[in-house]
Structure 1
Amino acid sequence: MTQHALIMLAAGLGIPVLAALNARLGANIGSPAAAAFILFIVALSATCVVMVTTGTGALSRLPGQPWHLFLAGILVAFYVLSITYVAPHFGIGNAVFFVLLGQLISAALIDHFGLFGASQSPLTALRAGGIVVMAAGVALTQLAAR
């Protein structure tokens, strides 16, 4: 595996852990929104440390960027708020299953149309079949848990 693949594997391993930890915090304090807020404060602090140690020069290029690129922050907030609220009621596995399903669909569309500057990779029958197999595999893990 390449270094990039290992980094993304670690990120993927962290998503259910993030969901479980933040969902528990939200349930413990009685507010998914407050738990999400704390998560973002911790994340902002960690990101600031990384940015300061790697250089802050990129910040000067922010004003020239298209406004729609900043919508990613809203998507992150939506994800964190929704998983923190839904997971305690729906289960971590079920919540992450639907997140993964959404990611597969979205990634296929982004790659197929080359959206947001991504390299274009057409959705062939083979790729679509692979996505269906992946989705079925994830679904089987949830069905087997019942």
Structure 2
Amino acid sequence: MQYIFIFLAFLCGAVFPTQAAFNGKMSTIVGHPILAAILSFFTGFIALVIYAIIAQIPMNQFTAFRTAPWYVWLAGILGAFYVSTIIVLMPRLGVALTFGLVIAGQMTVSMLMDHFGLFNLPIREISAGRLIGAFFLLLGVILIRKF
């Protein structure tokens, strides 16, 4: 079962640059990265609604959002920032460097979130092995940039 999750995580990573390429093309077509991001979120919204209907996901819990802490609402804003920023950066930095930097940023913040258990996440302390892994990740970004 763990292999399925590993595969899905890899697949999710593979989808990001593909999505960025499509959004970049849409940005060129509509003339602005924010318009492309709006269209991207709109089609994603429609896809999720269709999936929820087909999967018969019960909507009776939907109103529970009223009890959510204020900071969880930032997820949508962060998603919009991410998508629109990628659309702007990808043609300027290239796909490999853009996503190398994105992954480096993700690993840095992820390790801090794990270490301090932010947002009630389980604590997983930063270890020497994790720091070495992050170092090699950053070294990879430097090599991608240089070559």
TM-score by length of 1: 0.90
For the aligned residue pairs, the C-alpha RMSD in angstroms reads 1.6
Q: How far apart in 2 are the matches of 1:109 and 1:130? A: 14
Q: Is the 8 A contact 1:24 1:88 kept in 2?
A: no
Which residue pairs with 2:102 in the alignment?
99
1:22-33 → structure 2 map (5 Å cutoff)? 22-33=23-34
2:92 aligned with 1:89: yes
Question: Aligned letter for 1:91?
Answer: G
CA distance in 2, matches of 1:133, 1:89: 24
Worse-matched range after superposition: 21-30 or 101-110? 21-30
Q: 1:1-146 residue pairs with structure 2 within 5 A?
A: 2-52=3-53, 53=55, 54-144=57-147
Instruction: Quote how far apart the aligned CAs of 1:96 are.
Output: 1.2
1:93-142 deviation digits (Å, cap 9, x = unpaired)? 22112111110111011111111122110011221111111222343344
Cα deviation for residue 89 of structure 1 reads: 2.1
**What is the distance in 2 between the residues matched to 1:18 and 1:122?**
33
Secondary structure of 1:119 counterpart: coil
Matches of 1:30 and 1:36, distance apart in 2: 12
Aligned residue identity for 1:77 = A
Shift of 1:20: 1.1
Q: Quick one: distance in 2 between partners of 1:139 and 1:51?
A: 42
Gaps of 5+ in 1: none
Instruction: Give unpaired runs (5+ residues) of structure 2.
Output: none
Residues matched between the structures, number? 144
- 1:9-66 CA-to-partner distances (Å, cap 9, x unmatched) read 1110000111111012102221111110100000101111223323323312111110
| TM-score, normalised relative to structure 2 | 0.89
